[in-house]
Structure 1
Amino acid sequence: MATIGLDKLFYAKITEDKDGNETYATPVQLAKAMTADLSVELAEATLYADDGASEIVKEFKSGTLSLGVDDLGGSVASDLTGAVIDSNGVVISTAEDGGDPVAVGFRAKKSNGKYRYFWLYRVKFGIPATALATKGDSITFNTPTIEGTIMRRNKVDSKGKHPWKAEVTEGDVLDPDVITNWYKTVYEPYFGASAPV
């Protein structure tokens, strides 16, 4: 079903243990969302046998997330890109900047009024693009765009796999607390017989 809206753009900082397994901080709002373009790159291989394709493997390799937002505040820019805020509150970007990966969550409104919720578990952002223009006869809004690379997370789920995305549509979830708590914590995959306690 088609989506007709996008909102509630959040991010959560990641802390890694000695093995690289992620723990997520409490999510905070990134900015007001305008656009979110998600593309995925797959690693593919085809095994040919008896003059035809015998086996085909397609696995997640990485992805790209391009976010159009209304504005990036200083603390958000610092968290996402590694820029620092000096003693005067000025955001300083350097050639050596490189922000740490974060988890990114958002939701998209569907044409039936329900929402589809997303968490991308590990996104490393680059420097935001900025377009500026002088004011002419009409007003034109110029807003930042920030692009990040989506990676699988290091921490395995209970099935021994490395998730890169969690996605659910409102009404399809068995436990309503999943939606209620979507922005309180980064969603953790659950494969038990009943809802976790």
Structure 2
Amino acid sequence: MEKAAINEKRFNRGITIISIVIPLVVALLFGYKIPDAEPLYFLPPIYASINGLTALLLIVAVIAIKNGKRKLHQNLMTTSIVLSALFLVMYVGYHMTSDSTKFGGEGGIQYVYYFILITHIVLSIAVIPLVLITYSKAYLKDFENHRRWAKYTFPIWLYVAITGVIVYVMISPYYAY
């Protein structure tokens, strides 16, 4: 087996493990409260801002690659991955120290909020392997497959980043500080 195929097989194994472990660990930690911990009430606006910044960087990264700026594109995408990981750490930290906030809107806005929230959560799980596969294709210099995967990954990741901000804006009046 050639070296590129071996590397791709290793990446795929790691991607599969990470794509299963992250949602499971987040689900487990989401249900765990750190006893006597000071609530991290300051985090939601920070991680919502990180989502917004990630959305902007994703758009700029696509513009960069369309203009032939590969290194800038790579740096922006790597930064977006780091920001997404940072978001996840803050999100879990907040929920391990604070009670979940219930959406207080009434009427039709509830349906809008829960639709956005549910699609955001489902797609945030789905985007993990998509991002890792797409990134690994570029890392392995398989740019043709990278572009194929990116056609699906980009809009989903952008949706997750933007809806993260929308969910925060919609629920923020109901936070108990």
Structure-1-length-normalised TM-score: 0.20
Structure-2-length-normalised TM-score: 0.22
Q: Which has the higher helix share?
A: 2
**Larger radius of gyration between Structure 1 and Structure 2:** 1
Q: Which has the higher strand share?
A: 1
